[in-house]
Amino acid sequence: MDYSNPILGTGDLELKKCVRQWNAHPHFEWCWAFDSHSRGSDRRYIRELEVESKYKEVLQWCWEMFGPSIDLEIWLDCRRHIDNSFSREQIKEGEVPQNLIPNKYWCYQAKRDMHPYRIYLKGQKELSMFYLKFNS
């Protein structure tokens, strides 16, 4: 599969494989990072608006394709709550109430001081669907 930039085409969108050091690992395998680091200060605001607009477009598509999701930090809090409240057997047997389980296919991360906007995808299947939509 070609992992070149499928959306913005200028290096503003970068596919990254989630590594152990990331909070999203091992729950999510892939991360799309939307970055607006423009060289010229006069164009920076315009680039940020363009990148934010594209991020919102992709966020909306993920919401429609994979269902509603939440920010990564909240997602991780929900997972910790489940892991602390239920045994492995209960989790494996599906005894966790559905309203407690966060979306397992994707989540997002709003722009923060040290990170750009990010969208995390579970695995290869979700990544392939992403490419079908945005790489055509």
Residues 66-96: tens digit of each pLDDT: 999 999 999 999 999 999 999 989 988 888 8
pLDDT at 38 over 70: no
pLDDT in tens, 1-36: 444 444 444 456 788 899 999 999 999 999 998 876
pTM: 0.82
pLDDT at 119 over 70: yes
Alpha-carbon distance of 133 to 52, in angstroms, equals 18
What CA–CA distances, in Å, run from 52 to 33, 45, 65, 128? 11, 10, 20, 23
